């Protein structure tokens, strides 16, 4: 089994496609601004999940899931900015995916915390 077999990775890949679709309608002057920032943050989500899955242990995997979680929060914030600037009218579907992905990440982190060896002295 690889990262490609996980529901979290699959859903985050769908989310990247959705963000690319959403940002296509942004004003052309945003090509190197908010649009680019959102795309990079969205791509970071499944990329870090994949990199973490390739690591040797639960602690390393957890670190990459936390990075993905940060990127997810970044995209969520950027969607709000795009709404405030009237670049998009609705982002409910994207927000639903964000909530699902976040829940899956939090559950994975809990699982990995239980699986990771406890540090000595703490």
Where do the structural domains in the chain lie, given as residue ranges?
3-115
Q: How far apart are CA 26 and CA 23, in angstroms?
A: 5
Q: For 79-118, what is each residue's pLDDT tens digit?
A: 999 999 999 998 899 999 999 999 999 999 999 999 877 7
Residue 3, pLDDT score: 87
Q: What pLDDT score does 1 carry?
A: 67
User: Would you state the CATH architecture of domain 3-115?
Assistant: Up-down Bundle (1.20)
Q: What is the pLDDT of the chain when averaged over all its residues? A: 93
Q: What are the angstrom distances between the C-alpha of 38 and each of 6, 79, 110?
A: 23, 8, 27
**pTM of the model as a whole:** 0.91
């Amino acid at each position: 089994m690889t990262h490609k077999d996980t529901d979290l990775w699959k859903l985050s890949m769908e989310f990247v496609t959705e963000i690319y679709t959403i940002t296509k309608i942004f004003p052309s002057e945003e090509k190197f601004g908010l649009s680019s920032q959102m795309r990079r943050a969205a791509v970071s989500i499944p990329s870090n999940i994949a990199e973490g899955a390739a690591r040797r242990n639960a602690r390393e995997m957890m670190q990459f899931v936390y990075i993905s979680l940060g990127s997810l929060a970044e995209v969520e914030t950027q969607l709000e900015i795009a709404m405030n600037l009237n670049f998009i009218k609705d982002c409910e579907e994207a927000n639903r995916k964000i909530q699902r992905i976040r829940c899956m990440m939090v559950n994975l982190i809990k699982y990995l915390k239980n699986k990771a060896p406890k540090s000595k002295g703490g």
